[in-house]
Amino acid sequence: MNSDPLFLLVVAAILLVLGILIVGLVGFMSGGEFNRKHANRIMRYRVGAQLGAVILIVIYVLLRR
């Protein structure tokens, strides 16, 4: 499983979503100019990355049945 390229891609997508989420949460908690300037963009990136991750997970499950 660890050498499966599709599995590694799924893990990378999940870690990308986690990274974007952490950046958004830290920006939200600190507030200020960064949050005002980038909050909506970070949220859109997170939603797009989550969509991609879910699609990859579904493809992985369908192919590895």
- Quick: pLDDT tens for 1-56: 678 999 999 999 999 999 999 999 999 998 888 888 989 999 999 999 999 999 99
Report the predicted TM-score, pTM, of the whole model to 2 decimal places: 0.87
Q: Which residue has the tokens 């997508």?
A: 13
Residue 10 near residue 56 (C-beta atoms within 8 A): yes
Residue 49 near residue 16 (C-beta atoms within 8 A): yes
